[in-house]
Amino acid sequence: MSMTAGLSLQTVSYAFGAKQALRDVSFAVEPGTFCALLGPNGAGKSTLFGLLTRLFTTGQGSITVAGHDLARQPRAALARIGVVFQQPTLDLDLTVRRNLLYFAALHGLAGREAETRSMAALDRLGMAERAGELARNLNGGHRRRMEIARALIHRPAVLLLDEPTVGLDAAARFAITDHVHGLAASGLSVLWATHLTDEVRPADQLVILHRGRVLANGTAADISAGKPLSDVFLAKTGTPA
Amino acid sequence: MTAALIALRAILHREALRFVTQRGRFIAALVRPLVWLFIFAAGFRAALGLSITPPYQTYITYEVYIVPGLCGMILLFNGMQSSLSLVYDREMGSMRLLLTSPLPRWWLLTARLIASTTVSLLQCAAFLGVAALWGITLPWQGYLAAIPALFVAGLMLGALGLMLSSFIKQLENFAGVMNFVIFPMFFLSSALYPLWKMAEASPRLRDLCAANPFTQAVELIRFALYGQMNLPALGWTLLALALFGGVALWGYDPARGMVQRKG
Ligand SMILES: Nc1ncnc2c1ncn2[C@@H]1O[C@H](COP(=O)(O)OP(=O)(O)OP(=O)(O)O)[C@@H](O)[C@H]1O
Ligand SMILES: [Mg+2]
């Protein structure tokens, strides 16, 4: 069993009743690695995120986060995870700062500590000057950045993002993809779910998920082997990316 | 301060801020019992006077009688609304965020329940304030004693909502909840008619109403509003709280996968 300071999954399966959503999913994301989880609609990406954040659990397989088994030490594991869900989870009527402080408190942070960490996280995403704005008044790209900043406040070891660029224009998409590659370079294990091949860089780790199974796991450059990644993806899944 | 208390304070603060920013919700919640008080009860004032039973010490008008029941109505509506909003609308996102906290799940759900009950209490205070302006005043000890009574009753009804939200998938809209939960609970209770009056119509009906946890909550509030303790009502309300709360926690167990169901 691989023990990593990052994220690791061993033979994880999950079914919604009779519908098998994940089958024997195994892979690991080391610290400092940007791992793209590439899969078409319905591949099981969000289901995997639900399991990784313990919104629900499975009896099959195991998940470790920063050395903590999610089933045996759920709270220690959750304390090391930052997550951006596919559906936004903002309080639109509250300011950016308030949204971040609320989240900080959910991780036991208050007072000056929460303030400085929130501001530092916003700063890291280039959002410091928007701290006082209502979330409702931010554009889609800035809302997503705010969610990413929020996910960093408690200094997680593992950052999970479920299709964080959906609905954003090309510039915002590029900026966010770039930011998160920077976060991985600074030492986080990043798992980035997407169905867009152009968000994957050659040096990234790439896991291709299709109908709940892992079809490939390696560096993107190795998997695409000189061909455009979208062609490889189409060939493997029968679905254009 | 411990992490658990920091989180509780933040959850309360968030609920308070939402309460302030969503003024429409507040007005709607206040108008409902006031309509009952001003129109329904005023209309019955002549027809229905009530004789003297505890906690009342004098003959009371019908309007005075239904004030505790209308406080209960505020708690009932809010309790259902705050939990069932999870099932249909955007609040599910905030629930997900809440549950990614490393604090124990039972504590997070309890904190959320405490927060929504606190908001209900503010609405009850506003309602009692308007009722006082209308001339329905209560002894000052009653206003004080009502605070813990309303709180316990609110927790119990909120826990009921939480429990329903984790089990009943087919309650697709609030109308369903109105028809199958709120209306039966409200009408088959001592909120509008005292139990002895029900017994005149049918002892069966009286027994049904007495078994309704909402009746117990309303009686707890009614006695508290006169500075008195109704121990059996408190006991039944606490029992219902423990039961609904326990089942709700079981319903939200991650192994049951409830949180994934929507979106
Ligand atoms: N609550 C649920 N009940 C039953 N089946 C579900 C549920 N949620 C998802 N599924 C099914 O599980 C499979 C995986 O869904 P999932 O949402 O994880 O995919 P995804 O990769 O995130 O897709 P998308 O790109 O559309 O977000 C799909 O076939 C989906 O229909
Ligand atoms: Mg998805």
Residues A241 and A171 both lie in one domain:
yes
pLDDT of residue A109: 95
Residues A43 and A65 in one domain: yes
Which strands make up the sheet holding A68-69, listed edge to edge?
Answer: A19-29, A7-16, A62-65, A68-69
Statement to judge: residues A69 and A180 lie in one domain: yes
Q: Which of the four pLDDT bands, split at 50, 70 and 90, describes residue B9?
A: very high
Residue A162 Cα to ligand 2 midpoint, Å, equals: 7
Q: Are strands A189-194 and A158-162 parallel, antiparallel or unpaired?
A: parallel
**Torsion (CA) B212, B214, B215, B216 in degrees, nearest 10:** 100
3-state secondary structure of A211: coil
| Mean pLDDT, residues A94-101 taken together | 95
Same domain, A69 and A108: no
CA-based nearest residue to B8, from A95, A55, A106, A75: A106
* DSSP three-state, residue B122: helix
A194 shares a domain with A76: yes
Q: Highest mean pLDDT: which of A3-7, A87-91, B69-73?
A: B69-73
- Together in a domain, A51 and A161: yes
Instruction: Find the CB nearest B93 among A59, A74, A87.
Output: A87
Residue bearing the CA closest to ligand 1, atom 31: A42
Measured CA distances, A219 to A34, A172, A178, B43, B211 (Å): 10, 25, 18, 77, 65
Euclidean distance between CA atoms A43 and A238, whole angstroms:
12
* Per-residue model confidence as pLDDT tens digits over A14-32: 998 889 999 999 999 999 9
Contact A106 B97 (CB under 8 A): yes
Q: What are the start-end ranges of the E strands in chain B?
A: 49-50, 60-61
Count how many domains chain B has: 1
Mean pLDDT of B187-191: 93
High-pLDDT (> 90) share of chain A, %:
79
pLDDT tens figures, A224-241: 888 888 888 888 888 776
Domains contained in chain A, number: 2
Least confident of B29-43, B54-68, B81-95, B210-224: B81-95
Over the stretch B47-58, which tens digit does the pLDDT of each residue have?
Answer: 566 667 888 887
Quick check: B221 pLDDT over 70?
Answer: yes
Q: Which residues surround ligand 2, an ion (CB under 5 A)?
A: A 45-46, 86
Run of H or E including A25: strand A19-29
User: Is the CB of A45 within 6 Å of ligand 1?
Assistant: yes
What pLDDT does residue A135 have?
93
Q: What's the pLDDT at A1?
A: 46
Do residues B117 and B80 make contact, with C-beta atoms less than 8 angstroms apart? no
CA B99 → CA B53, B95, B113, distances in Å? Answer: 47, 6, 14
Interchain pair B93, A105: CB under 8 A: no
Q: Of the candidates A155, A186, A205, which is a domain's last residue?
A: A155
Q: State the smallest CA–CA distance between residue B150 and chain A in angstroms.
A: 27
Q: Is the CB of A47 under 6 A from ligand 1?
A: yes
State which residues form the domain around A114: 90-155
Confidence at residue A143, expressed as pLDDT on a 0 to 100 scale: 94
> CA-to-CA distance for B191 and B175, rounded, in angstroms?
21
Residue A20: in which H helix or E strand, if any? strand A19-29
Per the structure, the complete domain to which residue B85 belongs is given by: 3-262
Q: How many CA atoms lie within 13 A of A182 on its CB side?
A: 10
pLDDT at A108: 95
Residues of B in contact with A106 (CB under 8 A): 7, 10, 97-98, 100-101, 103, 108
Cβ–Cβ gap A56/B94 under 8 Å: no
Summary mean pLDDT of chain A: 92
Inter-chain contact A108–B7, Cβ cutoff 8 Å?
yes
Looking at the fold, whether A45 and A163 belong to one and the same domain comes out as yes
What average pLDDT does this structure show over A157-171?
92
Locate B63 and state its tokens: 């309007």
Residues A143 and A182 in one domain: no
Domain check: are A149 and A169 in the same one? no
pLDDT tens profile B129-164: 999 998 999 999 999 999 999 999 999 999 999 888
| Preferred mutation among B21, B88, B101, B166 to probe A, highest tally of A CBs within 10 A | B101
* H or E segment to which residue B245 belongs: helix B231-251
What ipTM did this prediction achieve?
0.88
pTM for the model stands at: 0.89
In a shared domain, residues A57 and A39: yes
Ligand 2 centre and the CA of A157: distance in Å? 22
Please tell me the predicted confidence (pLDDT) of residue A235: 86
Ligand 1 atom nearest to A17, measured from its CA: 4
Q: Is residue A85 included in any domain, yes or no?
A: no
User: In the prediction, which pLDDT does B263 show?
Assistant: 39
| pLDDT of residue A161 exceeding 60 | yes
Phi, psi of B70 (to 5 degrees): -75, -30
Residues in chain B, total: 263
Same domain, yes or no: A211 and A179: yes
pLDDT above 50 (res B262): no
pLDDT for position B46: 60
Mean pLDDT of A129-139: 94
Q: Which residues of B touch A91 (CB under 8 A)?
A: 14, 17-18, 94
